[in-house]
Amino acid sequence: MIPLHMGHFIIMPSWFYGFNVLFEIIFTIITLVVGLYALKVYKISDQPSSKFFGIAFLFISAAYLVRSAVNLVLMLTTEASGGTSSSGFIHYTSLIGIYLHIALFIIGLSTFAYMTLKINNMRVLSLLLAILILAIIFSSNTLFMYYLLSSLLLFYITIYYLDNYFQSRQYKTLLALIAFVFLLFGKIHFIFALNHGTYYAIGYFLEFAAYGLLLTNVMRVIRNNEQEKRPATDHP
Amino acid sequence: MNKKRDRLQIIHDILEAIRQRNGSIKPTHILYKSNLSPQMLTEYLAELVDKGFVMESKRGTGKVYSLTPKGFLYLRKYQLVLDFTETFGLN
Better pLDDT: A128 or A15: A128
- For the CA atoms of B63, B76, A173, A64, the dihedral, rounded to the nearest 10 degrees, stands at -100
Q: What is the mean pLDDT of residues A104-110?
A: 97
| DSSP assigned state of A231 | P
Is B84 in contact with A37 (Cβ distance < 8 A)? Answer: yes
Give the separation between CA A106 and CA A92, rounded to whole angstroms: 21
The reported pLDDT for the residue numbered A185 is 95
Give the separation between CA A113 and CA A111, rounded to whole angstroms: 6
Is A228 in contact with B73 (Cβ distance < 8 A)? Answer: no
Question: Where residue A88 sits, what CATH number does that domain have?
Answer: 1.20.1070
Query: Which residues span the domain enclosing A203?
Result: 2-228
Q: Which of B8, B81, B87 minimises the CB distance to A217?
A: B87
| DSSP assigned state of B25 | B
Closest approach of B60 to chain A, Cα-based (Å): 32
Residues A200-211 pLDDT 10s = 899 999 999 999
The CA radius of gyration of chain B, in Å to the nearest whole number, is: 13
The reported pLDDT for the residue numbered B21 is 81
Residues A8-41 pLDDT 10s = 456 678 888 889 999 999 999 999 999 999 999 9
Task: Label residue B1 by pLDDT band (50, 70, 90).
Answer: very low
Give pTM, 2 decimals: 0.88
The reported pLDDT for the residue numbered A8 is 44
Q: State the sign of the Cα–Cα–Cα–Cα dihedral B10, B23, B53, A47.
A: positive
User: Of the given ranges (A82-86, A134-138, A181-185, A218-222), which has the lowest mean pLDDT?
Assistant: A82-86
Establish if A236 belongs to a structural domain. no
Domain edges within chain B:
7-84
The reported pLDDT for the residue numbered B7 is 87
Establish if A166 belongs to a structural domain. yes
Is B84 in contact with A221 (Cβ distance < 8 A)? Answer: yes
Q: Which of A167, A221, A224 minimises the CB distance to B2?
A: A167
Q: Is the pLDDT of residue A5 over 60?
A: no
The CA radius of gyration of chain A, in Å to the nearest whole number, is: 19
Give the separation between CA A69 and CA A97, rounded to whole angstroms: 9
Is A210 within 8 Å of A182 (Cβ atoms)? yes
Establish if A234 belongs to a structural domain. no
Give the separation between CA A180 and CA A192, rounded to whole angstroms: 19
Tell me the chain B residues in contact with residue A218 when contact means C-beta distances shorter than 8 Å: 84
Residues 6+ apart with CB under 8 A from A176: A161, A164, A165, A213, A214, A217, B87, B88, B89
The SS3 assignment for A11 reads strand
| Residue A160 dihedral angles phi and psi, to the nearest 5° | -60, -40
Tell me the chain A residues in contact with residue B46 when contact means C-beta distances shorter than 8 Å: none
Closest residue in chain A to residue B7, using alpha carbons only? A47
Q: Which of A167, A173, A228 minimises the CB distance to B79?
A: A228
Q: For chain B, what percent of residues have pLDDT higher than 70?
A: 92
**Is 2.40.10.10 the CATH classification of the domain at B7-84?**
no
In 3D space, the residue among A124, A153, A5, A167 whose CA is nearest the CA of residue A74 turns out to be: A5
The per-residue DSSP string of B41-87 comes to HHHHHHHHHHTTSEEEEEETTEEEEEE-HHHHHHHHTHHHHHHHHHH
Q: Is the pLDDT of residue A235 over 50?
A: no
The reported pLDDT for the residue numbered A223 is 92
Closest approach of A154 to chain B, Cα-based (Å): 14
Residue type, A143: L
- The number of folded domains in chain A is 1
Residues A153-181 pLDDT 10s = 999 999 999 999 999 899 999 999 999 99
Residue type, A108: G
The SS3 assignment for A140 reads coil
Q: Is the pLDDT of residue A2 over 80?
A: no
Q: What is the mean pLDDT of residues A117-122?
A: 91
Pick from A36, A37, A42, A45 the residue to mutate for testing the B interface (most B CBs within 10 Å).
A45
